[in-house]
Amino acid sequence: MKPGALAASLTARLRPQSLRRQLLLGILLPVGLVVAFNTWSLYRQALAAANTAYDRTLLASAKTISEQLDVQGYDEQARLRALVPYSALEAFEADNQSRIFYKVSSPSGEPVSGFADLPAWRGRIPQRPAYAALVDFYDDRYRDQPVRVAALLQPVASANGRGMALIQVAETLELRHTLARQLLLDTLWRQLLLVAVIAAVVVLVVQRATRPVRVLSAQLRARAEGDLTPIAAPDAPRELHPLIDATNQVMGRLAHLLEHQKRFVRDASHQLRTPLAVLKIQVQSALRGDVAPTQALQEINGTVDRATLLANQMLALAKVEQLRQQSAPTVADLAAAVREVALDLAPLMAERDIDFDIETAPAPVLAHDWMLRELVRNLLHNAIRHTPEGAPLSVRVSSDAQHATLTISDSGPGLDADLAGRLFQPFSAGDVRHGSGLGLAICREIADALQGRIALDNRMSQGRLAGLDATVRLPLAPQAA
């Protein structure tokens, strides 16, 4: 077989079967097996019924023959004599399909009349015979044909003697098999008609039941490109509602991802345009010699730093959304993430001679490690930037029965009431010269992704503003809770 033909054959085998075909196979295959078993059982029952009916004829033939017997002598000295012409059995031959043979013999097996080569009876009389006679019915072969035989033990008496005769009457089975087949065929065509009705009903029911699916498919194909609005199918069967709900959830996530992607592209193109334009002006100014080379390089370096910070934070904001859509996060320790970030930022605090104090307790939460570190890094970096030199800065990690709480307390100027309302929005920096306006937006996105809350509150001491408290509350991991 060629590779292309082999691939096509495998594809055809692996192709999902239609619902109609699965139902037809699932229903008709068991029904077919039942019909086959029923056919075999029915044939045996029909054959048994035919044997019962025609065994009575064999018994009547044997009794007719017994009426034509005479005996001379008594018991062991009894001599049987039969005057039975074969024509006497013609009345019991129903048609030309079967033939009847008989044999009369003494109990010792000595032939008296009939077909002497008919096999001798070696059975015994049943304890509860079907008829009021000493008769045994059995199957045998005679002249290479299967026959049904009735062996009758019949007492014979006359004025000159008394004895016992064994009368065997055999009949070929053509008529019995014909009757059994006729009974079978009469029932079988009704069963086949029933199977055909079942198949037709399955096809019609499947066609009717899948009509809402086809209608729904047509509506989805007719939608405009990019239309991810939820599917409205109030008339759909209840069995389709879980599928519709799941599809709406997937479409909702896709719509959210597309909206986030569009917003990211829009924000990136808008925010990166300004530093690139400034960088170009600074390069042109340096080339013209408007400023000293050292000053030009310092200005260019500052612009590149701000552009780099902006790009990194925009990528971080995109990564938060990516992790939000991934599988469930693992258990991570918030306290460990705080200690790692504090150690990384220790040179910045040492440079400003900040009086840093940290106190942590184990706080396991369901989160990605990167999310926790990014959240703590942005908050702690903001606190370091706004804390005056030599002023205190404290970090606390605690937990209660349900939540883990991170509190970063700086000694900065606090927040203006107007700025506090929009500080978590992207590109809403309090100081545009030293920030991109994305740090707190990233923190807000991470807190929302972890089903937590973040708040910035001015801290008062003795009636005066003492600094700002950044508080994050995250739900504990189920085991810890």
Record the tokens describing residue 195, joined without a space: 């199977």
Q: What pLDDT shows up at residue 471? A: 92
What span, in angstroms and rounded, lies between the C-alpha atoms of 385 and 388?
A: 8
Q: Which domain holds residue 443?
A: 331-475
Average pLDDT over residues 29-45: 82
**Position 418 in a domain:** yes
Residues 297 and 344 in one domain: no
* CB proximity list for 150: less than 8 A, separation 6 or greater: 55, 58, 59, 61, 62, 135, 136, 137, 168, 169, 170
Over residues 323-345, the pLDDT tens digits come to 666 656 788 899 999 999 999 88
Closest listed residue to residue 439, CA positions, set 465, 411, 408: 408
Domain finish residue from 325, 358, 390 = 325
Q: Do residues 265 and 342 both lie within one domain? A: no
Of 243-252, 263-272, 429-438, the range with the lowest mean pLDDT is 429-438
Q: What angle do CA 140, 146, 148 make, to 5 degrees?
A: 55
Q: Among 75-79, 144-148, 296-300, where is mean pLDDT lowest?
A: 75-79
pLDDT higher for 430 or 76? 76
Q: What is the structure's pLDDT at 274? A: 61
- The pLDDT of residue 432: 44
Residue whose C-alpha is closest to residue 168's, from 248, 100, 103, 252 = 103
Is the same domain home to 298 and 393? no
Q: Is the residue at 90 inside a domain? A: yes
Taking only the tens place, the pLDDT of each residue in 443-460 is 888 888 888 898 888 888
CATH number of the CATH domain containing 269? 1.10.287
Residue pLDDT, tens place only, 366-415: 888 888 888 888 889 889 988 999 999 999 999 888 899 999 999 988 88
Distance, CA of 23 to CA of 14 (rounded, Å): 18
The region of weakest confidence among 112-126, 277-291, 362-376 is 277-291
In this prediction the pTM is: 0.46
DSSP 369-429: HHHHHHHHHHHHHHHHHHSPTT-EEEEEEEE-SSEEEEEEE--S----HHHHTTTTSTT--
Same domain assignment for residues 428 and 387: yes
Residue 215 maps to a domain: no
Q: Which residues make Cβ contacts (< 8 Å) with residue 360, sequence separation at least 6? A: 335, 338, 339, 395, 396, 397
For residue 59, what are its two tokens? 């018994």
Residue 225 lies in a domain: no
Taking each helix axis from N to C end, the angle separating 293-325 and 241-288, rounded to the nearest 10 degrees, works out to 180
pLDDT top residue among 456 and 130: 456
d(CA 481, CA 470): 23
Percent of the chain with pLDDT over 70: 79
Q: How many domains does the chain have?
A: 3
Which two tokens mark 380? 């702690």
Higher pLDDT, 116 or 318: 116
Q: What is the pLDDT of residue 14?
A: 46
Per the prediction, the chain carries an average pLDDT of: 78
Quick one: DSSP state of residue 134?
S
Mean local confidence (pLDDT), 260-287? 69
CA distance 166 to 477: 95
Q: What pLDDT, on a 0 to 100 scale, did the predictor assign at position 268?
A: 59
Residues in the chain: 481
Identify whether the C-beta of residue 416 lies closer than 8 Å to the C-beta of residue 429.
no
268 and 175 in a common domain: no
Tokens read off for 109: 């097996």
Last-in-domain residue among 271, 302, 325: 325
Is 201 contained in some domain? no
Can you tell me the distance from the alpha carbon of 339 to that of 325, in angstroms, rounded to the nearest whole number? 27
Is 69 part of a structural domain of the chain? yes
Question: Does one domain contain both 346 and 398?
Answer: yes
242 within a domain of the structure (yes/no): no
Same domain, yes or no, for 394 and 287? no
Cβ–Cβ < 8 Å for 47, 176 = yes
pLDDT of residue 70: 78
* Residue 296 and residue 400 share a domain: no
CATH code (residue 455): 3.30.565.10
Whether pLDDT at 227 is above 90: no
Among residues 181, 209, 235, the one where a domain terminates is 181
Residue 27 is assigned to a structural domain of this protein: no
Instruction: Determine the pLDDT at residue 356.
Output: 92
420 and 342 within one domain: yes
Give yes or no: residues 310 and 356 share one domain: no
Q: Are residues 45 and 138 in the same domain?
A: yes
320 with 336, same domain?
no
Tell me, rounded to whole angstroms, the distance of Cα 150 from its chain centroid.
62
Q: Output the pLDDT for position 359.
A: 92
- Sequence-separated (6 or more) residues with CB below 8 Å from residue 332: 364, 365, 366, 367, 368, 369, 372
DSSP 170: E
